Amino acid sequence: MTYQGRLTGPSGAAKNGTFEMVFRIVDSEGAAAAALPVVSPWVEIHPAVVVKDGYFSVQLGSIADLSPSLFVGPPSDSAGPLRFLEVTIDGEKLSPNMRVVQLCLCARRRREQRQTRTDRAYRSQRQGG
> Taking all residues of the chain, what is their mean pLDDT, rounded to a whole number?
80
Residue 51 Cα distances to 5, 20, 80, 109, 125, angstroms: 9, 10, 33, 30, 45
pLDDT digits (tens, 9 = 90+) for 27-83: 776 555 555 554 457 899 999 999 999 999 999 999 988 877 777 777 778 878 888
> Which residues face 37 on adjacent strands?
none
pLDDT (0 to 100) of residue 102? 64
| Nearest CA-CA partner of 19 in 47, 58, 44 | 47
> Which residues face 8 on adjacent strands?
14
Q: Which residue has the higher pLDDT, 113 or 9?
A: 9
pTM: 0.70
Collapsed DSSP state (helix, strand, coil) of residue 42: coil
pLDDT (0 to 100) of residue 35? 54
* % pLDDT > 70, the chain: 69
